[in-house]
Amino acid sequence: MHNVREICEDSWWLGASDRRLELFENTYPTPAGMSYDNYLILDEKTCLMDGTDEAVMLQVMENLEYLLAGRKLDYMVVDHMEPDHCRMIPQLVERYPEIKFVATAKAFELMSQFFDFDVAPHAITVKENDTLELGHHTLQFFLAPMVHWPEVMVSYDQLTGVLYSADAFGEFGALGGNIFADEVDWEHDWLDEARRYYVNIVGKYGLQTNMLLKKAAKLDIRMICPLHGHIWRKDFNLILDKYVKWASYEPEVDSVAIFYGSIYGDTAAAADILAGKLAERGMRDVRVYDSSKTMTSELVSVAFQYSKLVFACATYNMGIFDSMRTLLDDIAAHVLKNRVVGIMENGSWAPQAGKLIQAQVEAMPNMTILEPMVHLRSGVKEANLVEIEALADALVSA
């Protein structure tokens, strides 16, 4: 059985979705599963644009055989050598022994590390601006190192204006038949998952992403085909404008996101009091999150989204409460910068969380830490309300 869709001249989508997947890369929760996009160009030469994950390989192979209709597969372009796009490479070599892979030198180095077959007879190594003639279609290649692996490139079809963008412009979540972004309410239903995907998968590499965006701006792009998520054929600004902000670490929302790590509820109460004080002062779109309950990948995404962050945390084992420590480590690992930060600490007998959080935030680029820090000693007391009011004023004024 096959499940394919023509996307433009001689070009087909033949991807699949894994709705059973719980953790993408065995770390990022995917409650709605994951999509894997593959594309085939049927010209004088046939060319598969990237492979797929082992979980959906059977479906993609069936789709490929159906579209080839007895023809051989001449090329596979390997824009990205990550296993979720390349597990099928040995099977392709076995089924199409004359196949040529088109990739960067670094990609072939990685290919040899992942697989045992002799890569050299199948390798066509390309570099910046090299092209591959398929007949009517000419593919042009642009290097995109560290978006988000060092071997990455993107491919541009000069005939159709399709940019095969590797992991750029992707999303978490399985697709439901509507493979184009304009077939769904993308801003309402998919923007958060696109942000969470970018921040957690690519977010550390904003500089490199901006370099890719500059290259893409010079092309006559009529369609963007990522390896995960929806295809873009119109309204490109919806995704491109977001990528410009995300890659530049610019917040989308000028408001406050409060993250708390609370053991028995007292720190949580202080976080909610602060949120109420901010609302009283006219601040809209304030969000409050329990770092123990909400998945860390979502919290990091929110931290990229908001201009002002508050970390409210109990001291635990003479350190930062576990879930908050994980959150701060992850934010630092993704190199978030240019934010205003407030801190609220709690500790019953040896408070340490505040100074430890401050030291970790100070190590991040261009972070402004507000005064005062709120110091709780177990429960919230009247004296704490004065500090909370002052922190609310500082957040509104920042």
Shared domain for 106 and 165, answered yes or no, is yes
Tens digits of per-residue pLDDT, 147-183?
999 999 999 999 999 999 999 999 999 999 999 999 9
CA gap 35, 21 in Å, rounded: 10
**For the residues 24-43, what does the mean pLDDT come to?**
97
Q: Which helix (H) or strand (E) holds 397?
A: helix 382-397
Shared domain for 232 and 370, answered yes or no, is no
What is the predicted pLDDT for the residue at 1? 76
Shared domain for 129 and 201, answered yes or no, is yes
Shared domain for 194 and 132, answered yes or no, is yes
**For the residues 228-246, what does the mean pLDDT come to?**
96
The CATH number covering residue 313 comes to 3.40.50.360
What is the predicted pLDDT for the residue at 322? 96
**For the residues 240-255, what does the mean pLDDT come to?**
96
Q: Is the Cβ–Cβ distance between 110 and 101 less than 8 Å? A: no
Tens digits of per-residue pLDDT, 186-231?
999 999 999 999 999 999 999 999 999 999 999 999 999 999 999 9
How far, in Å, are 94, 106, 236 from residue 181 at the CA level?
35, 32, 10
Tens digits of per-residue pLDDT, 332-347?
999 999 999 999 999 9
The CATH number covering residue 195 comes to 3.60.15.10
Tell me the two tokens of residue 218: 């010079």
Query: Which residues does residue 131 pair with via DSSP β-bridges, in sequence order?
Result: 140
- Direct distance between the N- and C-terminal alpha carbons of the chain, in angstroms, rounded to an integer: 59
Question: If 0-12 CB within 10 Å is exposed, 13-18 middle and 19+ buried, where does residue 155 land?
Answer: buried
Shared domain for 333 and 227, answered yes or no, is no
Band (68; pLDDT cuts 50, 70, 90): very high
Q: How many domains does the chain have?
A: 2
Question: If 0-12 CB within 10 Å is exposed, 13-18 middle and 19+ buried, where does residue 76 land?
Answer: buried
Classified as helix, coil or strand, 114 is helix
Peptide bond into 372 cis (omega under 30): yes
Q: Which domain holds residue 180?
A: 5-247
Percentage of the chain exceeding pLDDT 70: 100
CA gap 388, 398 in Å, rounded: 15
pTM, two decimals, is 0.94
Shared domain for 347 and 217, answered yes or no, is no
Question: If 0-12 CB within 10 Å is exposed, 13-18 middle and 19+ buried, where does residue 280 land?
Answer: exposed
CA gap 307, 389 in Å, rounded: 20
CA gap 151, 275 in Å, rounded: 45
Single-letter amino acid, residue 114: F
What is the predicted pLDDT for the residue at 186? 98
Shared domain for 204 and 280, answered yes or no, is no
CA gap 114, 324 in Å, rounded: 36
Last residue in a domain, options 247, 268, 303: 247
Shared domain for 243 and 257, answered yes or no, is no
CA gap 391, 147 in Å, rounded: 38
Sheet holding 75-77, edge to edge: 5-8, 11-13, 39-42, 46-49, 75-77, 100-103, 123-125
The Cα angle at residue 50 between residues 139 and 122, in degrees rounded to 5: 80
Last residue in a domain, options 187, 212, 247: 247
Shared domain for 219 and 295, answered yes or no, is no
Shared domain for 33 and 104, answered yes or no, is yes
Shared domain for 372 and 324, answered yes or no, is yes
Shared domain for 330 and 375, answered yes or no, is yes
Radius of gyration of the chain (CA): 24
Pairing of strands 138-143, 131-133: antiparallel
What is the predicted pLDDT for the residue at 6? 98
CA gap 67, 176 in Å, rounded: 21
Tens digits of per-residue pLDDT, 297-319?
999 999 999 999 999 999 999 99
Last residue in a domain, options 247, 262, 286: 247
CA gap 383, 373 in Å, rounded: 13
**For the residues 3-29, what does the mean pLDDT come to?**
96
